[in-house]
């Protein structure tokens, strides 16, 4: 009890120092659990406070962070024709990935939480913890070389316009992380589309190393007798940073398998968004979310079913190379599982009734597959499909409730 007594003694006055009190309240409630907690329940009725719910979601994506950090470096060295084995130059790959990922993560959370802290102090209420998940998701759905200033603008837009304007956590209509990505896609399309943006540090055909690589880390690695970053490295002739999605859109499954094997796509050793490539890492997160009861298995399963049905229908229809990709291989490519696990299941923006979750998930799977295959300008569909269905989620729940009321009235 000594520690909690200390925390209570240093509590700032809420009227005299509203911002300091807001900061204090945020850290205090993060450190201590509420007095009563239920063992079972769902989102809004659960006694487990929102911070701990959000922490479980963040923990579920940690393997995506670990793998994504390594894969940033791995793809970089593949482009240079160096350390091409999975474990070759492991220390270089991890260090290179950290140098790219840490600034994205730190800036995302500083900007997003800073805005939320300011709004909480201004409005005189406790800090809303929803950005804990958004701040962890945003770096994972971005390319590794995204300019920091673009990230700042995108987060400010997503938090202020997409969340605080609607009243804060629990009131937003659209998923904040996806709104951040869609802002980048439409405002600065060249930074998040094309072949080379998904592989870091190979602009202009040369390895772009800075002091952290050739100074700080090389000094340590040389002292340990390990391999070091070579500033004279250049991109190998014939290398392409095209993702499987981009290849499938232009040449179908044959074009994809000419560059990547199904095994590479499944394990995630391919170019792509930082956290979306490794299916095993994501599926482990799915297991954690479902086993803890935090995410809806109904949305996940129905989204998978909707995507399967639509992919099979497109296979039967034919018409272009992408439509003829075998339906089961559609799940080897792109970000379907990541979107299914961490985006579609957002309890604030998804449907909340059980029957509504089935409809919501089915439509995301079907619409997302249509956008992926039939839209030549954007060979991936889950971002737009989820945002589209976020808008219709309240309407879906409305009709489900009306149907339930009608049935009960008839029985009465």
* Rounded CA separation 217/215 (Å): 6
Share of the chain above pLDDT 70, in %: 86
Task: Decide if 93 contacts 73 (C-beta within 8 A).
Answer: yes
Q: Which residue has the tokens 């450190």?
A: 31
- State which H helix or E strand residue 281 sits in: helix 279-291
Q: What's the token pair of residue 110?
A: 């500083």
- Write the pLDDT tens digit of every residue in 360-402: 999 999 999 999 998 867 768 899 999 999 999 999 999 999 9
- Write the pLDDT tens digit of every residue in 37-96: 555 444 444 444 566 677 889 999 999 999 999 999 999 999 999 999 999 999 999 999
Beta partners for residue 407, in sequence order: none
This prediction has a pTM of 0.87
* Rounded CA separation 255/252 (Å): 6
pLDDT surpasses 90 at 123: no
pLDDT at 378: 74
Which residues does 49 contact at the CB level (< 8 Å), separation at least 6?
29, 33, 34
DSSP code of 214? I
Helices (H), 141-243: 148-162, 176-187, 211, 218-223
Give phi and psi for 206, each to the nearest 5: -130, 155
pLDDT at 37: 53
Beta strands in 69-200 (DSSP E): none
DSSP code of 86? S
Helices (H), 217-278: 218-223, 244-257, 262-267
Q: Which residue has the tokens 């049905």?
A: 309
Buried residues in 293-332 as b, exposed as e (16+ CB within 10 A): bbbbebbbbbbbebbbebbeebbeeeeebbbbbebebbbb
Which residues does 58 contact at the CB level (< 8 Å), separation at least 6?
132, 133, 136
pLDDT surpasses 70 at 3: no
Task: Decide if 177 contacts 138 (C-beta within 8 A).
Answer: yes
Look at 21-25, 244-248, 341-345, 348-352 and tell me which has the smallest mean pLDDT.
21-25
Cα four-point dihedral sign 126, 127, 129, 131: positive
DSSP code of 343? I
Provide the 10 A C-beta neighbour count for residue 48. Answer: 20
- Write the pLDDT tens digit of every residue in 266-322: 999 999 999 999 999 999 999 999 998 889 999 999 999 999 999 999 999 988 888
Q: Report which of 147, 140, 178 is spatially closest to residue 274, judged by C-alpha positions.
A: 140
pLDDT at 13: 62
* Rounded CA separation 382/385 (Å): 5
Q: Which residue has the tokens 């009131």?
A: 171
pLDDT surpasses 50 at 199: yes
pLDDT at 268: 95
Beta partners for residue 206, in sequence order: 234
Average pLDDT over residues 151-156: 96
- Write the pLDDT tens digit of every residue in 170-196: 788 999 999 999 999 999 988 887 777
* Rounded CA separation 242/157 (Å): 29
- State which H helix or E strand residue 133 sits in: helix 131-140
pLDDT at 171: 83
Residue 27 — very low, low, confident or very high, per pLDDT cuts 50/70/90?
Answer: low
pLDDT at 380: 83
Q: If you average pLDDT over every residue of the chain, what do you get?
A: 87
**131-140 helix and 50-60 helix, angle to the nearest 10 degrees:** 20
Task: Decide if 329 contacts 266 (C-beta within 8 A).
Answer: no
Which residues does 329 contact at the CB level (< 8 Å), separation at least 6?
253, 256, 262
Q: What's the token pair of residue 104?
A: 């994205």
Q: Which residue has the higher pLDDT, 122 or 159?
A: 159
């Amino acid at each position: 009890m000594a520690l909690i007594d200390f925390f209570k003694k240093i509590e700032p006055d809420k009227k005299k120092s509203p911002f300091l009190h807001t900061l204090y309240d945020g850290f205090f409630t993060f450190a201590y659990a509420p007095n009563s907690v239920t063992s079972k329940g769902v989102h809004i009725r659960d006694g487990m406070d929102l911070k701990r719910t959000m922490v479980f979601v963040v923990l579920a994506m940690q393997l995506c962070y670990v793998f994504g950090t390594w894969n940033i470096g791995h793809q970089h060295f593949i482009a240079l024709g160096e350390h091409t084995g999975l474990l070759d130059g492991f220390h270089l790959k991890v260090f290179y990935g950290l140098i790219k990922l840490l600034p994205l993560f730190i800036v995302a959370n500083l900007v997003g939480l800073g805005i939320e802290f300011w709004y909480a102090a201004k409005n005189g209420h406790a800090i809303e913890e929803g950005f804990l998940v958004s701040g962890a998701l945003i770096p994972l759905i971005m390319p590794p070389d995204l300019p920091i200033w673009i990230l700042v603008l995108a987060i400010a837009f997503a938090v202020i316009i997409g969340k605080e304007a609607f009243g804060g956590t629990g009131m937003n209509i659209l998923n904040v992380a996806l709104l951040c990505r869609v802002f980048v896609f439409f405002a600065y399309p060249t930074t998040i589309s094309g072949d080379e943006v998904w592989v870091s540090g190979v602009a202009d055909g040369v390895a772009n190393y800075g002091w952290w690589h050739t100074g700080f880390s090389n000094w340590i690695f040389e002292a340990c007798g390990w391999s070091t970053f070579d500033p004279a490295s250049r991109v190998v002739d014939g290398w392409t940073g095209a993702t499987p999605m981009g290849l499938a859109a232009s040449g179908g499954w044959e074009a994809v398998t000419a560059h990547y094997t199904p095994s590479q796509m499944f394990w995630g050793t391919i170019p792509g968004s930082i956290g979306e490539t490794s299916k095993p890492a994501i599926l482990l997160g799915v297991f954690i979310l479902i086993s803890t009861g935090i995410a809806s298995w109904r949305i996940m399963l129905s989204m998978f079913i909707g995507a399967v049905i639509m992919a099979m229908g497109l296979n039967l229809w034919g018409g272009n190379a992408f439509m003829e990709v075998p339906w089961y291989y559609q799940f080897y490519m792109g970000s379907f599982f990541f979107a299914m696990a961490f985006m579609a299941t957002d309890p604030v923006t998804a449907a909340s009734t059980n029957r509504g979750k089935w409809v919501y998930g089915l439509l995301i799977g079907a619409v997302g597959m249509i956008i992926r295959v039939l839209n030549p300008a954007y060979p991936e569909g889950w971002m737009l499909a989820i945002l589209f269905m976020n808008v219709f989620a309240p309407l879906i729940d409305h009709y489900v409730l009306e149907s339930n009321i009608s049935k009960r009235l008839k029985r009465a």
